[in-house]
Copies of this chain bind each other. A is one copy, B any other.
Amino acid sequence: MNKYWSETIKGIAPYVPGEQPRAGRLVKLNTNENPYPPSPEVLEAMKAAVTDKLRLYPDPNCSRLRETASRHYGVPAEQIFAGNGSDEILAFCFKAFFDPGDTILFPDITYNFYEVYGELFGVSYRTVPLTESFEVPIEGFFTDNDGVILANPNAPTGKTISLEDIEFLIKRNRQAVVIVDEAYVDFGGESSIGLIPKYDNLLVIRTFSKSRSLAGLRIGLALGQRNLIEALIRVRDCINCFTVDWIAQAGAIASLEDTKTFTHYIGRIAATRSRMTEHLRESGFHVIDSSANFLMMSHPVIRAKALYEALRERNIFVRFFPKPRIDNYLRVTIGTDEEMDIFYDALMDIVMATNRLLPESEQTPNPGD
Q: Which residue of B lies closest to A63 (CB)?
A: B22
Q: Is the interface of A mostly helix, strand, loop or mixed?
A: loop
Contact with B along A226-252 (1 / 0, CB 8 A): 011011001101111111011110010
Contact residues on A (Cβ < 8 Å of other chain), bracket: 35 or more
Docked-complex contact B6 and A99, CB < 8 angstroms: yes
Complex Cα spacing A38 to B54, Å:
7
Q: Which residue of B lies closest to A233 (CB)?
A: B14
Given A4-B227, A59-B20, A88-B239; A14-B217 close (CB under 8 Å): no
Is A52 interfacial (CB 8 A cutoff)?
A: yes
Q: Which residues of B contact A247 (CB under 8 A)?
A: 46, 50, 216-217, 245, 247-248
User: Looking at the complex, which of A115-123, A280-288, A308-316, A353-361 is the stretch in contact with chain B?
Assistant: A115-123
Task: For chain A, residues 119 to 173, give those with C-beta under 8 angstroms from any C-beta of chain B.
Answer: 119-120
Minimal beta-carbon separation of A189 from chain B (angstroms): 21
Residue from B34, B43, B55, B228 in contact with A50 in the complex, judged by beta carbons closer than 8 Å: B43
Docked-complex contact B213 and A57, CB < 8 angstroms: no
Contact with B along A184-202 (1 / 0, CB 8 A): 0000000000000000110
Residue from B9, B37, B91, B98 in contact with A52 in the complex, judged by beta carbons closer than 8 Å: B37
Complex Cα spacing A117 to B58, Å:
21
Docked-complex contact B216 and A57, CB < 8 angstroms: yes
Task: Known pairs A2-B231, A54-B251, A55-B213; list 12 more (Cβ under 8 Å).
Answer: A4-B200, A8-B99, A9-B231, A9-B234, A12-B234, A12-B238, A20-B56, A46-B54, A47-B47, A50-B247, A84-B218, A87-B242
Is A33 interfacial (CB 8 A cutoff)?
A: yes
Q: Which of A8, A31, A33, A213 has the most CB of B within 10 A?
A: A8
Given A4-B201, A36-B55; A20-B60 close (CB under 8 Å): yes
Residue from B17, B36, B96, B241 in contact with A5 in the complex, judged by beta carbons closer than 8 Å: B96
Task: For chain A, residues 237 to 271, give those with C-beta under 8 angstroms from any C-beta of chain B.
Answer: 237-243, 245-248, 251
Minimal beta-carbon separation of A315 from chain B (angstroms): 16
Is A85 interfacial (CB 8 A cutoff)?
A: yes
Q: Which residues of B contact A16 (CB under 8 A)?
A: 237
Docked-complex contact B60 and A17, CB < 8 angstroms: yes
Minimal beta-carbon separation of A174 from chain B (angstroms): 10
Docked-complex contact A2 and B217, CB < 8 angstroms: no
Complex Cα spacing A37 to B52, Å:
5
Closest 4 CB pairs of A and B: A14-B237, A37-B52, A54-B216, A55-B213
